[in-house]
Amino acid sequence: MMVKTPNIYCLVRGSAEGRTRLNAFDKALLNAGVGDTNLMRMSSILPPAAEQVDVSQINFPKGGLIPLAYATIDGNTPGRLISAAIAVGIPEDDTEPGVIMEFEDHADLDTVEGIVRQMVIDGFDYRNRKLKEIKSFGIEHKIKNCGSVFAAAVLWYK
């Protein structure tokens, strides 16, 4: 096998302003508590029975390779809103995987988080899988000069 399937996850979010788009994103990662790691984006399934922990409980190795699913958006129009949200659907049957959805837009967080929660409902619906619970987490930011928002489900190992 390639690598062990992760068995814990945490939901994180951050926002920041920076001199460039990448600096704003980098600061948003630091704000979210996952800066100083090497994030590797993946399509977005929650392994069966993965346990939720708080990001503060995980001691990520500095520069370590960390799999995650995330929503992000940046912009440089002063005064515009940007929002990113992540939602995780937990199945009733804990031998089945969950579904992670990401969404971001130039909109307020209520709108973006409402959409990403519906995306999870749809994901369970066309899988014919019973949904026990949706957990969602997001962040809204009004751009000053060059802003970025980030919301993620980070997978790891206990």
Catalytic site includes residue 43: yes
* Residue of 102, 104, 113, 140 with catalytic role: 102
3-state secondary structure of 88: strand
Comparing CB distances to a copy of itself, the nearer of 140 and 156 is 156
Q: Does 157 bind a copy of itself (CB under 8 A)?
A: yes
Quickly list H helices, the chain.
Answer: 21-32, 109-125
* Residue of 43, 56, 59, 128 with catalytic role: 43
Sheet of strand 81-91: strand arrangement: 45-46, 98-105, 81-91, 131-142
Residue 55, classified by CB atoms within 10 Å of its CB into exposed (0-12), middle (13-18) or buried (19+), is: middle
Binding pattern for the stretch 52-71 against a copy of itself, x by CB under 8 A and - elsewhere? ---------xxxxxxx-x--
Q: How far is the CB of 123 from a copy of itself (least distance, A)?
A: 6
Binding pattern for the stretch 92-121 against a copy of itself, x by CB under 8 A and - elsewhere? ----xxxx-xxx-----------x--xx--
* Residue of 38, 92, 133, 145 with catalytic role: 38
Is residue 82 within 8 A of residue 73, CB to CB? The reply is: yes
- Indicate the Cα dihedral angle 55, 115, 47, 70, nearest 10°: -50
Sheet of strand 8-17: strand arrangement: 38-41, 65-75, 147-156, 8-17, 51-52
- Which of 8, 42, 55, 131 is close enough to bind a copy of itself by CB under 8 A? 42
Active site amino acids: 38, 43-44, 102
Q: Applying CB under 8 A, which residues contact a copy of itself?
A: 1-6, 18-20, 22-23, 25-27, 29-30, 35-48, 50, 61-67, 69, 96-99, 101-103, 115, 118-119, 122-123, 126-127, 155-157
